[in-house]
Amino acid sequence: MKKRFISIVVLVLLISACTDDITRFNDETKRASEVPPGSLFSNAVKTLSDGLASASVNVNIFRHFVNHWAQAVIQEEAQFNYVTRSINDAWWTRMYRDVLNDLKESARIITNDVTLNPTIKTNQLAIIDIMQVYTFNILVTTYGDIPYSKSLDDQLLFPVYDDAKTVNKELMIRLENDIAKLSISAPGFTSSEDIIFQGSVAKWISFANSLQVRMAMTISDVDNSLAKTAFEKANPNAINAISNNGFVKYFTAIPNNNPLYDQLVLANRTDYIAAKDLMDVLNSFEDPRKPGFFGVNNVGLYVGGIMGIPSDYPKMSKPSTRVADPSAPNVLIDYVEMEFYRAEAKERGYNVTGSAESHYNNAIKASILYWGGTEANADKYLLRSDVAYTTAAGGWKQKIGFQKWIALYNRPFEGWLEVRRLDFPKLTIPVNAFSGYPNRMKYPANEQQLNGSNYTNAATKIGGDKSETKLYWDIF
């Protein structure tokens, strides 16, 4: 037996000795050497959507910025404290590292693919760039001046900050070029890779024009000429029906579910509640969207909590089962938003068919229908003297801003953009707020520590790295 064992060992050693190079064993023959570009694209879009949809206190507290949700127990985030949990750092990292870099890598692989149909390649690259523009627009409307021109350069660890106004103009130029490149004669990404439009290039054209409308209207107070030109060119091809809405569809199965399901149901939190500011309006206006927005409290009433102080959770209304549904879609751009923009554009004297009142009514009606109301509900609501365009309080900015604030429920980032831009409604500052109203987020602590010189220059230029500092387009 001993001799047999020795013989086996000798044989193994002899075989091993014949193998000069064993590095071939490092080759992973069962795993792709490069991630498919379509998967990188869909992952980037999902990561972006998850951040916009989330209510996690570590990710997204914009529902508190617009006084739509309060908190029953933990008050820091409801009091505008986003620094303790480094939410501003996490938002920055999500957009740059997790979204923009995945989109960049997807574009690199597609560009180098010599086997891909040229028209399909052009469509895919344009679609990727549209989502990069969408993401950069989030960053520039969150922080102000940002790393842009050198931000995705792997060889440059400490990029300079570009002027926000310049970035906005360049993004609008990029978007216009992307729209010109898209062709419905060929597909873009496959239906499984494109989690917004399931491969429809025609809807991507509509989406891109709608994003151009949003960016144009954002700068309308400071560059009316550019805004008017861009709006009038994009508006005819922007979303003009509910069926063209741009949204990410989630599914019941984890991890492809809406993140609100994790945070409102699976986590079993007893904290997220309706804010009194919004609930008082819904109650007084007898708003038919109320059951779609929130559930009733322990005695069957709709009640909201005061921002910044603890509330008795059972006595408060909570986000509705519709909002917490795992398959609830997350809207990126929709018909409601576009119709409010058209109403505003008409008031600004831009060339747009229809009246400001008709577009205002269309937006409100579409919002009510989306949230489960009926045509009759919408017609009744629009007849109220405090809702009807001719009799509602204030000038056009107040009328549109107030109703848009309601309609952008559960789209907190877009709601925050519009509250800052239109300056209506005038929101209540939370009790014991950590700052004045957050007109922007402060730059991440990591930027201060690692990119100090460029950070300091940017902070000085915009008027100080403070929450209250207004961005260049927010002049009122």
Q: What is the pLDDT of residue 34?
A: 75
Report the SS3 class of residue 326. Answer: coil
Assess contact for 393 and 426: CB atoms under 8 A: no
Alpha carbon 438 to chain centroid, angstroms: 17
- Does residue 215 contact residue 168 with C-beta atoms inside 8 Å? yes
Comparing CA positions, the residue from 342, 437, 351, 354 lying closest to residue 396 is: 342
pLDDT given at position 6: 43
The Cβ of residue 84 has, within 10 Å, a number of other Cβ atoms equal to: 10
Which residue's structure tokens are 């469509």? 123
pLDDT of residue 9: 43
What is the separation, in whole angstroms, between the first and last Cα of the chain? 93
Does residue 25 fall inside a structural domain?
no
Angle made by CA atoms 405, 410, 414, in degrees to the nearest 5: 55
User: What is the residue whose two structure tokens read 């399931």?
Assistant: 198
Task: Classify 272 as helix, strand or coil.
Answer: strand
Query: Is the CB of residue 80 less than 8 Å from the CB of residue 65?
Result: yes
C-alpha pair distances (Å), 70 with each of 80, 207, 457: 11, 32, 36
The overall pTM is greater than 0.85: yes
Residue 359 backbone dihedrals phi, psi, to 5 degrees: -70, -40
pLDDT at res. 14: 43
**277 belongs to a structural domain:** no
Residues across the chain: 476
Q: How many domains does the chain have?
A: 1
**Quick one: tokens of 332?**
């990126």
pLDDT at 32: 54
SS3 473: coil
d(CA 127, CA 135) in angstroms, rounded, equals: 13
Among candidate residues 77, 90, 47, the one with its CA nearest the CA of residue 444 = 90
Per residue of the chain (476 residues), give pLDDT as tens: 444 444 444 444 444 444 555 555 555 555 555 789 999 999 999 999 999 999 999 999 999 999 999 999 999 999 999 999 999 999 999 999 999 999 999 999 999 999 999 999 999 999 999 999 999 999 999 999 999 999 999 889 899 999 999 999 999 999 999 999 999 999 999 999 999 999 999 999 999 999 999 999 999 999 999 999 999 999 999 999 999 999 999 999 999 999 999 999 999 989 999 999 999 999 999 999 999 999 999 999 999 999 999 999 999 999 999 999 999 999 999 999 999 999 999 999 999 999 999 999 999 999 999 999 999 999 999 999 999 999 999 999 999 999 999 999 999 999 999 999 999 999 999 999 999 999 999 999 999 999 999 999 999 999 999 999 999 999 99
Residue 267 identity = A
CA–CA dist 339, 335 (Å, integer): 6
The answer to the question of residue 432 being in a domain is yes
Q: Residue 5 domain-assigned?
A: no
162 strand-pairing partners? 146
Q: For position 12, what pLDDT does the model report?
A: 42
Domain limits for position 152:
37-71+84-255+328-462
Residue 350 has what pLDDT?
98
Backbone angles phi and psi of 376, in degrees to 5: -65, -40
Establish if 108 belongs to a structural domain: yes
Report yes or no on 113 lying in a domain. Answer: yes
Q: What's residue 27's pLDDT?
A: 56
User: Is 27 in a helix, a strand, or coil?
Assistant: coil
Instruction: Tell whether 317 is covered by a domain.
Output: no
10: number of Cβ within 10 Å:
10
CA distance 453 to 200: 45
Tell whether 446 is covered by a domain: yes
**Rounded (10°) angle between helices 201-218 and 412-422:** 30
> To 5 degrees, how large is the angle CA 148–CA 154–CA 158?
60
CATH at residue 194 = 1.25.40.390
- Nearest 10 degrees: CA dihedral of 407, 409, 414, 416? 110
Vertex 71, ends 437 and 325: CA angle to 5°?
A: 110
**C-alpha 319, offset from chain centre:** 19
Place of tokens 């069957």: 300
